[in-house]
């Protein structure tokens, strides 16, 4: 099956005529299913010009007009759940059930975007002096460049861009070249929802297009989700071109388990949060930290039992708990990481290398892999491994577990399982992570809270969704206003500084 992939500019699909392109694979089979054309800088210029013109009109549209589009988009996304899930599964490799779960979170983000009028209200002070009133306005920044990852082809774009559109901006979006098709479906849904042409544009591409967007003078702000190395580059280069940038990057999320915890529940939570979507999630739990040897020994056996029961299969296999990783390169990188951990002294409990799924022997599959006795000197602790490789560490105390977690450069999420309120309270206040779970395996906040990590898990002051996202996509104007009486005498000339008018 060959898919038709291209760009979407000013309300029109374009096949893409650039000299460069890249393959798109079905990870479940290893088959090349399409070519993705990479846009030239001239194509980007046209997209930004269309977005700039549309932004001027859309930014002046009433809140009611904008919210009507957002409401309609929500209904269209729900109505097209099966189409979106099939497209995501075919190009990403995640199961259809997982893809539908992602779509559900996308809808949650769309729903919050209708709150734009509430979260962008300004301030007002009457008669600050001399009958002068002062008030602030939040206005759209203009054209937003969106750069999104392969692992959430609809959720990240929806929560990122719906608020940007809702507060009056236009979009130029570069999706991951690994999963390009969902972007075109989403663009059509925006159009069907009544969004004016030019407000939402898609340009396919790779790193060259990222650079072009970061340099383009017509793009006022950039929102990025991806790896830490690339995110730091995007932040530094984008801000050097005087752009507003929010880059959401890697995670190495720790799960502390206290001796008093319900270990059965903790084990289920770790396996679910650790291996879902073949562990290709920035909020996946990477490392299990049972406190004390007895807790570690008991929890290890429970985790092994539950992990061995996982079924790996094609994205459309209803029995599959998770599917393939996204590419052959990803598979090879994960397998190298397994070998490195063995060399560094990790105790290999389960080895997922060499997995073959019957009927899909060329797919990019790796079985669940589990190490025990991981230490801070190992790559498995230090690096984010975007594949189903998880580890158990053995802190002797709660304080040591806190220290291990806070010593990591990432601060996306952290989790504790305990029945003790004091331990949970200390954890919440002392852990340096942006999103924290207490007896919750994945501390992914609801769409009406801010999403964002700390330390090297986020660059810039924006948030991916929540109230602060609306603030990121708007700029403040402060107005000082006085209306004199019709017959008031003109004030005499005065060169003295008078803050009270």
Q: What is the mean pLDDT of the chain?
A: 92
Same domain, 238 and 314: no
d(CA 451, CA 457): 11
Q: Residue 392 maps to which CATH number?
A: 3.40.309.10
Is 361 contained in some domain? yes
d(CA 470, CA 353): 44
pTM for the model: 0.92
Same domain, 283 and 415: yes
What per-residue string of b and e applies to 53-87 under the rule 16 or more CB within 10 Å gives b?
A: bbbeebbeeeeeebbebbebbbebbeebbeebbeb
Same domain, 238 and 265: no
CA end-to-end span of the chain, whole Å? 72
224 Cβ neighbours under 8 A, 6+ residues apart: 146, 147, 148, 230, 231, 234, 235, 245, 246, 247, 248
Same domain, 270 and 238: no
Same domain, 183 and 312: no
For 107, the token pair is: 């809808």
Is 294 contained in some domain? yes
Q: What is the pLDDT of residues 461-488, one digit of tens each?
A: 877 777 888 889 999 999 999 988 887 7
pLDDT for 2: 53
Q: What is the largest CA-CA distance in the chain?
A: 91
Is 68 contained in some domain? yes
d(CA 80, CA 86): 10
Same domain, 290 and 377: yes
Same domain, 278 and 203: no
Is 51 contained in some domain? yes
Q: What is the pLDDT of residues 416-468, one digit of tens each?
A: 999 999 999 999 999 988 788 899 887 677 666 667 766 777 777 877 777 88
d(CA 160, CA 465): 6
Same domain, 257 and 242: no
Range from 59-73, 244-258, 368-382 carrying the lowest mean pLDDT: 244-258
Q: Which residues are catalytic?
A: 282
d(CA 386, CA 286): 10
Beta partners for residue 257, in sequence order: 290, 417
Q: What is the pLDDT of residues 339-348, one digit of tens each?
A: 999 999 999 9
Yes or no: say if 464 and 225 are a contact pair by the CB < 8 Å rule: yes
For 470, the token pair is: 């609306």
Yes or no: say if 284 and 413 are a contact pair by the CB < 8 Å rule: no
Same domain, 62 and 19: yes
For 193, the token pair is: 């929802």
Q: Residue 186 maps to which CATH number?
A: 3.40.605.10
Is 2 contained in some domain? no
d(CA 436, CA 444): 8
> Which backbone phi and psi does 290 adopt, to 5 degrees?
-70, 135
Yes or no: say if 319 and 311 are a contact pair by the CB < 8 Å rule: yes
d(CA 149, CA 172): 15
Determine the 3-state secondary structure of 447 from DSSP.
Answer: coil
Range from 123-132, 176-185, 385-394 carrying the lowest mean pLDDT: 123-132
CA distances from 66 to 56, 60, 465 (A): 14, 10, 18
Is 501 contained in some domain? no
Determine the 3-state secondary structure of 4 from DSSP.
Answer: coil
Q: What is the pLDDT of residues 24-46, one digit of tens each?
A: 999 999 999 999 999 999 999 99
Range from 71-80, 136-145, 421-430, 489-498 carrying the lowest mean pLDDT: 489-498
Determine the 3-state secondary structure of 380 from DSSP.
Answer: helix
pLDDT for 388: 96
* Cα angle for residues 404, 410, 416 (degrees, 5° grid): 50
Strands (E), 341-404: 347-350, 369-372, 389-392
Same domain, 265 and 245: no
Q: DSSP letters of 265-325?
A: HHHHHHHHHHHGGGG--TTSEEEEEESSHHHHHHHHHHHHHHHHT--B--TT-TT-SB---
In this predicted model, which residue has the larger pLDDT, 238 or 499? 238
d(CA 279, CA 325): 9
For 321, the token pair is: 């708990």
Q: What is the pLDDT of residues 325-364, one digit of tens each?
A: 999 999 999 999 999 999 999 999 999 999 999 999 999 9
- Mapping DSSP onto H, E and C, the string for 80-92 reads CHHHHHHHHHHHH
Yes or no: say if 102 and 444 are a contact pair by the CB < 8 Å rule: no
Same domain, 464 and 412: no
Structural domain harbouring 94: 7-249+457-479
> Which backbone phi and psi does 328 adopt, to 5 degrees?
-60, -40
In this predicted model, which residue has the larger pLDDT, 70 or 436? 70
Domains of the chain: total: 2
Strands (E), 99-212: 124-129, 132-140, 143-147, 170-174, 200-202
Yes or no: say if 169 and 143 are a contact pair by the CB < 8 Å rule: yes
For 379, the token pair is: 């790559």
Same domain, 127 and 52: yes
Determine the 3-state secondary structure of 114 from DSSP.
Answer: coil
- The total number of residues written for the chain in this structure: 501
The pLDDT of 78-94, averaged and rounded, is 97
pLDDT for 454: 66
Would you place residue 16 in the very low, low, confident or very high pLDDT band (cuts 50, 70, 90)?
confident
Is 463 contained in some domain? yes
Cα-Cα-Cα-Cα dihedral sign, residues 432, 433, 435, 437: negative
Is 444 contained in some domain? no
Beta partners for residue 21, in sequence order: 37
Among 460, 462, 471, which residue's Cα sits nearest to residue 166? Answer: 471
């Amino acid at each position: 099956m060959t898919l038709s992939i291209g760009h979407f500019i000013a309300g029109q699909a374009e096949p893409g005529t650039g000299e460069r392109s890249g393959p798109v694979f079905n990870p479940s089979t290893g088959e090349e299913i399409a070519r993705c054309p990479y846009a030239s800088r001239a194509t980007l210029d046209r997209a930004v010009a269309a977005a700039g013109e549309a932004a001027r009109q859309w930014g002046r549209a009433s809140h009611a007009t904008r919210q009507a589009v957002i409401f309609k988009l929500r209904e269209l996304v729900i109505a097209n759940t099966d189409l979106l899930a099939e497209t995501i599964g075919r190009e990403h490799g995640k199961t259809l059930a997982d893809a539908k779960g992602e779509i559900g979170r996308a809808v949650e983000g769309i729903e919050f975007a209708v709150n734009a009028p509430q979260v962008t209200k300004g301030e007002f002070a009457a008669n600050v002096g001399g009958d002068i009133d002062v008030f602030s306005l939040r206005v759209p920044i203009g054209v937003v460049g969106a750069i999104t990852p392969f692992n959430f082809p609809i959720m990240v774009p929806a929560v990122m861009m719906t608020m940007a559109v809702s507060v009056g901006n236009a979009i130029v979006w570069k999706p991951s070249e690994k999963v390009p098709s969902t972007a075109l479906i989403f663009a059509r849904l925006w159009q069907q929802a009544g969004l004016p042409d030019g407000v939402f544009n898609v340009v396919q591409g790779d790193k060259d297009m990222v650079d072009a967007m970061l340099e383009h003078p017509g793009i006022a702000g950039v929102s990025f989700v991806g790896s830490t190395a690339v995110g730091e580059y995007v932040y530094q280069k984008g801000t050097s071109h005087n752009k507003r940038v929010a880059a959401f990057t890697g995670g190495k999320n720790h799960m502390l388990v206290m001796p008093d915890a319900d270990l059965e529940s903790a084990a289920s939570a770790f396996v679910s949060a650790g291996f879902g979507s073949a562990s290709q999630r920035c909020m996946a739990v990477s490392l299990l930290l049972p406190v004390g040897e007895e807790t570690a020994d008991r929890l290890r056996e429970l985790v092994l039992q539950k992990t061995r029961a996982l079924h790996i299969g094609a994205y459309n296999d209803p029995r599959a708990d998770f599917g393939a990783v996204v590419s052959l390169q990803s598979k090879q990188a994960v397998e190298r990481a397994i070998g490195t951990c063995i060399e560094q002294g990790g105790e290999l409990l389960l080895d997922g290398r060499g997995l073959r799924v019957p009927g899909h022997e060329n797919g990019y599959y790796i079985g669940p892999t589990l190490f025990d006795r991981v230490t801070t000197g190992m790559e498995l602790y230090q690096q984010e491994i975007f594949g189903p490789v998880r580890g158990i560490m053995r802190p002797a105390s709660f304080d040591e577990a806190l220290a291990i977690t806070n010593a990591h450069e990432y601060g996306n999420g952290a989790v504790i399982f305990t029945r003790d309120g004091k331990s949970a309270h200390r954890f919440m206040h002392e852990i340096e992570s942006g999103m924290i779970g207490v007896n919750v395996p994945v501390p992914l906040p609801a769409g009406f809270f801010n999403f964002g990590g700390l330390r090297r898990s986020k660059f810039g002051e924006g948030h991916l969704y929540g109230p602060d996202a609306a603030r990121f996509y708007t700029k403040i104007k402060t107005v000082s206003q006085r209306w004199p009486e019709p017959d008031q005498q003109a004030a005499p000339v005065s060169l003295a500084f008078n803050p009270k008018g």
